[in-house]
Structure 1
């Protein structure tokens, strides 16, 4: 199971690194964003990230309906995806895209904190 966890963490790292990079390119209005591999690779990485998460949850018999921290991660993931879509695709202005990009990064950090602490409010005492 440790190798699956390592793989999951690696995919999470690649996912956020790619998201940050694409956000910077978005702000620079870089032509890189229009390259085919830039559009495809994040979907592959994020799919592998999700599959490894599902595999671990099923293997460890962790039910998100019984574990609040896991449900919090799932809800935060949906928020992260929505913010990412606004940031990189559907934002009406550069300011809106930048704000969505920063909020998505904050939500991603929340997901990481929840993963480490197994608490839905990881910064509370």
Structure 2
């Protein structure tokens, strides 16, 4: 698979991951039983695994690393924050207010990750 194909897989997985997170967040805010469906618990892990694998493939293919590219380091740090906020929003938050705040922050962090990816700048303003 060439670089452009891997990049398109990565972008598609990022879009699917973000859309599914928004859907799961909406269900969480409504306390919907849909959030407990089996596919809702499995599909995000499959998409995010493909997203991570394609990210690693892109970095290896292009010879870039977080140590040499500040934008990539920023994206990686933001990814960790997104994961933590996402788990608080969808699983670990003790109250609806905590889950809602974590969800809103996770959406902002996701938008930041996309902006960094598009601009290749750690501060994409």
TM-score of the aligned structures, taking structure 2 as reference length: 0.97
Distance 2:40 2:120 in 1: 33
Tell me how large the CA RMSD over aligned residues is. 0.5
Aligned residue number for residue 86 of structure 2:
84
Return the offset for 1:28: 1.0
* CA distance, structure 2, for counterparts of residue 41 and residue 89 of structure 1: 16
Q: 1:106 aligns with which of 95, 105, 108?
A: 108
What is the SS of the residue equivalent to 1:58? helix
C-alpha separation in 2, matches of 1:3 and 1:99: 36
Q: Report the TM-score when normalising by structure 1.
A: 0.97
What is the distance in 2 between the residues matched to 1:122 and 1:104?
A: 17
Aligned-residue offset at 1:38: 0.4
| Structure 1 position 14 matched with structure 2 position 16 | yes
Q: 1:30 aligns with which of 14, 29, 32?
A: 32
1:119 is paired with a residue of what secondary structure?
A: coil
Q: 1:63: how far off?
A: 1.4
Three-state SS of the structure 1 residue aligned to 2:124 is coil
**How big is the shift at 1:108?**
0.5
Q: Which residue does 1:39 correspond to in 2?
A: 41
Q: Which residue of 1 aligns with 2:73?
A: 71
Rounded to whole Å, the distance in 1 between the matches of 2:90 and 2:38 is 15
Q: Provide the C-alpha distance between the structure 2 equivalents of 1:4 and 1:58, rounded to a whole number of angstroms.
A: 11
> Deviation of residue 83 (structure 1)?
0.1
Distance in 2 of aligned mates of 1:27 and 1:122: 30
Q: Aligned residue pairs: how many?
A: 123
